[in-house]
Amino acid sequence: VEIGSGYGHFMMEYTQKFPERNYVGMDHRFKRSFHLAKRLNKLEHKNFRYLRARGERMGFLFGEGEVNRVFYFFPDPWPKKRHHKKRLFQKKFLDDAHKVLEVGGELLVKTDHDGYFDWMLERMENEDRFEVTLKTFDLYQDEPEHFLASFQTKFEKIFLEQKIKIKAMVLKRK
């Protein structure tokens, strides 16, 4: 499951590279969703579904242990303090991720935003349902061989051109 598929670059690359895997992409923005749906229709492998939905719906859309990976890449950081309540990465999201992920399943996160990454790490401080198997403040310097460094989203390419370090973590459901 990918939350916030955006323009779909990762989704299209991943589904075609791994045609034996089922994939669900989610995004709530209409215009992006409309254009992405047209591009997805042209792909050779049809091992995916695309939903126009918010990440907050994940716990309602999937059953217990139904998902083996959740991708959460370059989410809106809602940088103003008064907007922090809109950030998806909160206790409810972790509750939902724990519910839908199978034991050993992973939540994979990438962001350019230092403040949001620090926020996520704070949310993980007292969280014992997940094991942090990767935590880096500079993905391409620290873990260039990791799966998360094997592709770049549209936004990620822009951030890298601006010399912004990509923060990443992988949470494994216990």
**Residues acting as catalytic residues:** 76
Cα–Cα distance between 153 and 60 in angstroms, integer? 27
CA separation (Å) from 26 to 42, 139, 157, 162?
A: 18, 24, 21, 27
**CA-based end-to-end distance of the chain:** 19
At residue 74, the 3 state secondary structure works out as coil
For residues 122-153, one letter each, b for 16 or more C-beta atoms within 10 angstroms of the residue's C-beta and e for the rest, the string is eebeeeeebeeebbbeebbeebeeeebbeebb
Identify the residue whose tokens are 């704070």: 122
Question: Taking a C-beta distance cutoff of 8 angstroms, is the pair 27, 2 a contact?
Answer: no
